[in-house]
Structure formats: structure tokens, C-alpha cells
């Protein structure tokens, strides 16, 4: 059979431009020629519509950086065929008003997106919350959870059809999965692109659906997911597991991601501030006055030795560097801050009360110099904050 189809003209020739023309020159040339050959201005010219489509096709290619690069390299024989799909360029709805003030670049870039984005539909992301013990913030841990999600049907391998020969291209959208309609608002024309209702955006019609998934290509399946919780993790951190979300509704599409939000449990006496740990240490008056050392177990496996200097006061803080939680992205650790608290016995025997009374001149408050003591305490507190 002899092909009588006329050969396509060079896009630059169609617009009357050279190959080195700028995007602005391409836009200006298209506006000028499109106004001249717009079908609304040439109702009696049967060739006006085809000429206008030729201009619009040339502008659609040359105004898009990626499509222009392909055309400059391969001409009309670009790998993968025409970017306009099997139906060829059908034109876009450009009104006279669009040619004078519309965003033509936006209109045509939207055209390209509508023809290709359907094939890259990603499955939905999922999020679950998972609790770990406080010890995991020090050591990290390996965890496993079980989730139920829409996964690719194993019976039909995501095709949705029991028989591959029963799948045909959707006639409503010519296999694109998207349709466009024109809405006129006053003097303006608006082009709206949406999923094809006939095929639900898939671009194909399944005549013999898979009995396992009902033609959806996906089914609810239970799956175990293993993941690592890093040392230093804090509540609210979300771990991203690529490809463990829902399968794409489009055969061959990319699966979504699974986000695991971590909730770190509490500790018996530690609070945390990032990688730093804070705790209160109740201590008796004699130990504050004379000084002492206290050993307590620690989550890193070694005891912490807290040295309390003689003459310490309730509210003093003792810092122990390098014994806090691991800093993420670093081999260093935070510090442990120990706040001293006066431990007052809840019950005191009569004998002990008598002994304390006999030492009141040492242990009690001397009202003669109370103002001086208040000033000294305020001075000490301010200086400790400044440091």
C-alpha cells in the first residue's frame, strides 16, 4: 500500500523561525500566526483549522524544553513515537482571547502532563504508629510489624484480567485514561482535564475480570515488614519504607510508601531533652552539707557515679557529659543532668526531733542575717544561670 499522507513540515519552518530562536520569539511567532489562521477568524476557509492545528502542534513541541530537545535531535522520528499518543495531535481549545493574553505555555504543558502522567500513578502512602521501649533510644532495635494493605493481586499479577486477550483500549479516551472538555465562562474558554469515567483513568477496558481481585488488580493482603529503629530516636520520628505502601491502581505503576511513626516509651526516672537526659536525685541534708557519692544504674549498662560536693544546695545541677543518648548522625552522646532535691523524712521520731532541736543553732534559720542570706542566694542563682 502506498502512503499518501503528506510529510510533516519542519516545526521551525511552520512558525517561520530559525533553530536558535528563543522561547519568547517562538511565543510571539505563534501568537501572530495563530491569530491570522484561527478558525473563528476564517469561517469560510476550509483549510484554516488544519493550518491552525499545524501551528499549535509546532508551538506545543518547541515551547516545551524536553520535547524541543527531542525534536532537535531526532526530528519527527523521536523514539517512543508522537508525544500526542496514537490519535495524533487533536488540537487544544485556544480562544482568540487566549491568543491575546492567555498563558499559552501553561495550556500546552498541561496538555503534555495529561497525556503521560496517567502511566506513572503511584499507590497511596500508608502510616502506622509503633511503640518502642525507652531502651531503644539508647541502643536502637530491630522491629517487625504486620500490616494489611492493597497489594498487587498474585492471581493476575496486577493486570486485573483473567485473560490478557480480553483487555482492550478504552474507546472513550483512546487509551490515555484522561479526557478533556471545554467550559466557557463569559468570553473565556477553560480547558478541563479529568480521569476518563469509562475506564476510571486506566486507559483500558477489562472484559473478563480476575475472580480473585474483581478486576481491580489489587487485593487486601497481610504483610510483615521488618525495619531498624536507629539509636537516639525520639517520639514523632517517621521512618520511611519505600514501596511498602499500597500498590498502584495502574498496572506497572509504582507502589506507595509506608511511614512508621515511632512512639518512645517512658523511663522510670529519666526525662529527655533531645539527646540529654534529666533526673532528680533526692538527697539528705547531711549529704548536702558534708558531700557524698551516689551510684545509680544507667541505661548504657554501666553505673553512673554522682559526686555531690560538700555544701551543695537543693536545686543545684550536676552535669555528667557523654552519658546521655546518642546524637543522630554523630558518634557523640548527650549529657546527664542531675538536679539535687532535699529529701525530708515523712516521719521523725521524738528522739530524733530532740536531737535535731539540740542542733538548731547549726541547722536552723538565723533571722539576724536572713536578708544577707537572701541576697547571697539570689546572687548565686543569677551567676549559675549566666554560666
Do residues 36 and 86 both lie within one domain? yes
Please tell me which residue, 320 or 90, carries the higher pLDDT value: 320
Task: Give pLDDT, residue 114.
Answer: 42
Is residue 59 located within the same domain as residue 41?
yes
Distance CA 46, CA 279 (A): 87
Which pLDDT belongs to residue 323? 95
Determine, yes or no, domain membership for 74.
Answer: yes
In order of 94, 100, 101, 231, the CA distances from 31 in angstroms are: 11, 7, 10, 61
19 and 104 both lie in a single domain: yes
Output the domain CATH number for residue 101: 1.10.287.110
| Residue 290 domain-assigned (yes or no) | yes
Looking at every residue in the chain, the average pLDDT score rounds to 81
Residue 172 forms part of a structural domain? no
297 and 340 part of one domain: yes
Burial of 333 (0-12, 13-18, 19+ CB in 10 A): buried
| Total number of domains constituting the chain | 3
Lowest mean pLDDT among 116-120, 215-219, 266-270: 116-120
Same domain, 377 and 324: no
Question: Do 383 and 301 sit in the same domain of this protein?
Answer: no
Q: Is residue 160 part of a domain?
A: no
Q: Are residues 116 and 15 in the same domain?
A: yes
User: Which residues 6+ apart lie within 8 Å of 96 measured at CB?
Assistant: 35, 38, 40, 41
Looking at residue 110, its pLDDT comes to 45
328, pLDDT greater than 60: yes
Chain segment 92-141, per-residue pLDDT in tens: 555 544 554 444 554 454 445 444 444 457 888 999 999 999 999 999 99
* 63 and 80 in a common domain: yes
Is residue 10 pLDDT above 60, yes or no? yes
| 3-state percent helix, strand, coil for the chain, nearest multiple of 5 | 30, 25, 45
Residues 82 and 24 grouped into a single domain: yes
Query: Which of 133, 142, 141 lies closest to 268 in space, CA to CA?
Result: 133
Q: What is the CATH number of the domain that holds 334?
A: 2.60.260.20
| C-alpha cell read off for 15 | 512558525
Expressed as residue numbers, the domain containing 32 is 11-120
- List pLDDT tens digits, range 165-203: 778 888 888 877 788 877 766 556 667 778 888 887 777
Determine the Cα–Cα distance for residues 284 and 236; give it in Å rounded to an integer. 38
Domain final position from 120, 135, 163: 120
Task: State pLDDT tens for residues 55-101.
Answer: 888 888 888 887 888 888 778 776 555 666 555 565 555 554 455 44
37 belongs to a structural domain: yes
Q: Per this entry, what is the length of the chain?
A: 387
Residues 384 and 328 grouped into a single domain: no
Q: Is there a domain that residue 321 lies in?
A: yes
On whether residue 151 sits in a domain, the answer given is no
pTM (2 decimals)?
A: 0.57
334 plus 381 within the same structural domain: no
- Would you place residue 208 in the very low, low, confident or very high pLDDT band (cuts 50, 70, 90)? confident
Whether 59 and 115 share a structural domain: yes
- Is 286 inside any structural domain? yes
pLDDT at site 299: 94
Instruction: Grade residue 4 by pLDDT with cuts at 50, 70 and 90.
Output: very low
Residue at a domain's end among 76, 99, 120: 120
**pLDDT bracket for residue 335 (50, 70, 90):** very high
Enumerate the β-bridge partners of residue 194: 179
Sign of the CA dihedral running 282, 286, 291, 297:
negative
- Strands 317-320, 304-308: pairing is unpaired
Domain limit, last residue, from 120, 140, 165: 120
Amino acid at each position: 500500500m502506498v502512503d499518501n499522507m503528506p510529510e510533516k513540515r519542519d516545526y521551525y519552518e511552520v512558525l517561520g523561525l530559525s533553530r536558535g530562536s528563543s522561547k519568547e520569539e517562538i511565543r510571539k511567532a505563534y501568537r501572530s500566526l495563530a491569530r491570522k489562521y484561527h478558525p473563528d477568524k476564517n469561517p469560510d476557509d476550509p483549510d484554516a483549522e488544519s493550518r491552525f492545528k499545524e501551528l499549535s502542534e509546532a508551538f506545543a513541541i518547541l515551547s516545551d524544553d524536553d520535547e524541543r530537545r527531542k525534536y532537535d535531535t531526532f526530528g519527527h522520528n523521536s523514539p517512543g513515537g508522537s508525544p500526542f499518543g496514537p490519535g495524533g495531535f487533536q488540537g487544544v481549545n485556544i480562544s482568540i482571547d487566549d491568543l491575546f493574553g492567555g498563558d499559552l505555555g501553561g495550556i500546552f504543558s498541561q496538555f503534555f502532563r495529561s497525556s503521560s502522567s496517567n502511566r506513572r500513578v503511584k499507590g497511596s502512602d500508608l502510616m502506622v504508629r509503633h511503640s518502642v521501649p525507652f531502651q531503644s533510644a539508647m541502643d536502637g532495635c530491630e522491629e517487625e510489624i504486620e500490616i494489611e494493605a492493597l497489594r498487587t493481586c498474585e492471581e493476575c499479577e496486577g493486570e486485573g484480567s483473567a485473560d490478557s486477550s480480553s483487555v482492550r483500549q478504552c474507546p472513550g479516551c483512546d487509551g490515555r485514561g484522561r479526557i478533556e472538555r471545554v467550559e466557557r465562562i463569559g468570553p473565556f474558554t477553560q480547558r478541563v482535564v479529568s480521569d476518563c469515567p469509562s475506564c476510571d483513568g486506566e486507559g483500558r477496558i477489562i472484559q473478563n475480570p480476575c475472580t480473585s481481585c474483581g478486576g481491580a488488580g489489587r487485593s487486601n493482603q497481610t504483610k510483615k515488614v521488618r525495619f531498624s529503629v536507629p539509636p537516639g530516636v525520639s517520639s514523632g520520628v517517621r521512618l520511611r519504607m519505600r514501596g511498602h505502601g499500597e500498590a498502584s491502581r495502574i498496572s506497572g505503576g509504582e507502589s506507595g510508601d509506608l511511614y512508621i511513626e515511632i512512639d518512645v516509651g517512658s523511663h522510670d526516672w529519666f526525662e529527655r531533652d533531645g539527646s540529654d537526659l534529666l533526673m532528680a536525685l533526692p538527697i539528705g541534708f547531711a549529704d548536702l552539707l558534708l558531700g557524698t557519692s551516689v551510684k545509680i544504674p544507667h541505661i548504657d549498662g554501666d553505673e553512673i557515679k554522682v559526686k555531690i560536693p560538700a555544701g551543695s544546695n537543693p536545686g543545684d545541677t550536676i552535669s555528667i557529659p557523654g552519658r546521655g543518648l546518642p546524637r543522630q548522625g554523630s558518634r557523640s552522646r548527650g549529657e546527664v543532668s542531675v538536679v539535687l532535691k532535699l529529701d525530708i523524712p515523712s516521719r521523725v521520731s521524738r528522739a530524733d526531733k530532740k536531737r535535731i532541736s539540740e542542733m538548731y543553732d547549726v541547722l536552723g534559720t538565723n533571722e539576724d542575717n536572713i536578708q544577707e542570706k537572701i541576697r547571697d542566694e539570689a546572687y548565686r542563682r543569677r551567676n549559675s544561670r549566666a554560666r
